Amino acid sequence: MSPCEPKYVNYSKSKRVVCSALRLLAAYTPREHQVILADQGYGEEVHHDHIDVVGISAMTSQANAAYALAAWYKERGAKVVMGGIHASVLPDEAARHVDAVCVGEGDALWPKILEDAAAGRLRSIYRPSGLFPVEAIPPFRRDLGVRRKTTFNHAMIQATRGCPYSCEFCITSALFGKKYRCRPVEQVVEEIKACGSKSIFFLDDNIFCSPAYCEELFAKLVPLKIHWVGQASLSSVTKNAALLKLAKRSGAMGLFIGLESVNQASKQASSAASKLGTSELVEVGKKIRLILDHGLLVQSSMIFGLDGDDTTVFERTVDFLNANHVSLSSFCILTPYPGTRIYDRFKTEGRLLHEDWSYYSNENVVMRPAQMSPEQLKNGSDWAGTTFYRRRSILNRFRSNWRRPLFYLGMSMFTRQANYTNHGPGAIERMPRPERAMWRKACVA
């Protein structure tokens, strides 16, 4: 089960991203068990009678809903197991609400949990002995539930796990390791062939993780004539122009890239340089345009509320993205998730406003920013989303995104509508005109 807070149901629908953990765990479930998959974010029913064991996967924003769902099932005599990021970083908290907690990767643990549940010997907390060998990852179960229309109408595929970066606000490397683990290319290719879709979304944190691995993978994707999108670091994508061309030939349509902050690129070079390949903002723009020139769309992820951000960051960010014709962008409010270093730091500094997990979703202000008020941060983030997706901005960026016209315009208008559905228009204190003019000149070489 993947639970959802009622206030996020419409937001989940607009994002159109399914919970991949459910179909992976279903693949590890022995076939003699009858399996029901349910994603409440899509309005699916998660309350069922006559259930023996319930597995709940939840991120932090889903934790309260997960605990309520667990209580409902426990009242009816079911054994409840909880996994996912939140339970992994706060297992003792989760254990107060469920019968068993699965910490970290559940690949090796889930079959053991089912065995122990059947024998009546469930332990409170299950932890893996090490990182799971990715060559043993099975294909997702795609035969369960109704296939849902998604933003990309894609089939999800995982080729690698792990991330070598250690961002203060991210938990990925702590859970999945700092070294990339790559599935055999033949396994990945066979799963793509069998999935029945020509549209693929790679779940990997960086699909450009290893030049040698990617060269083999992309070359074997060319004959499949698929279209795919994935996530990558700006540095890894732009290091090798030949590999970028091969990615395009293999069916790459666009890449999700974490730029994070226009301030971080210049003020926090120690952490930004490795992921971006440079600490200079103008060089970041050049790398973005290199990807666009190869016919791939760029969706950036920006974070507002970092300690270097003041009230001018919203206008600066939108100006930079527009000046460099970034195709799409998500705008996130810095959220100190449990398990991250920034959560520990903010808690020590007394900067957490509360720990109501239902608001820990990148859409709400749950901490005290260093250089602005919580209200200014929320309004500025909403303003950025509204302004970046104005029709005039979308059309102005089209001249660098014309190679994928339908994909670019369709995604832009879809995201524009999602912003209007989920957020207000927002407002900011504008930069003085001379300062604004100087900044815009500095956005492009």
By mean pLDDT, which of 5-14, 194-203, 330-339 is the weakest?
5-14
Pairing of strands 297-304, 199-202: unpaired
Cα–Cα distance for residue pair 23/203, rounded to 1 Å: 13
Give the tens place of pLDDT for each residue, 204-239.
999 998 999 999 999 999 999 999 999 999 999 999
CATH of the domain at 193: 3.80.30.20
Cα–Cα distance for residue pair 261/380, rounded to 1 Å: 14
SS3 assignment, position 412: helix
**Do 54 and 114 fall into the same domain?**
yes
In the chain, the number of structural domains is: 2
DSSP secondary structure, 308-320, as one string? T--TTHHHHHHHH
Once rounded to an integer, what is the mean pLDDT over residues 52-74? 96
Distances (CA, A) of 423 to 16, 31, 94, 372: 17, 43, 31, 20
By mean pLDDT, which of 15-29, 70-84, 161-175 is the weakest?
15-29
**Do 185 and 299 fall into the same domain?**
yes
pLDDT for 266 beyond 50: no
Q: Is 424 or 29 the better-scoring residue by pLDDT?
A: 29
Containing structural domain, residue 281? 151-334+369-442
pLDDT value, residue 12: 46
**Do 180 and 111 fall into the same domain?**
no
Once rounded to an integer, what is the mean pLDDT over residues 72-83? 97
**Do 308 and 431 fall into the same domain?**
yes
**Do 106 and 158 fall into the same domain?**
no
Cα–Cα distance for residue pair 40/137, rounded to 1 Å: 26
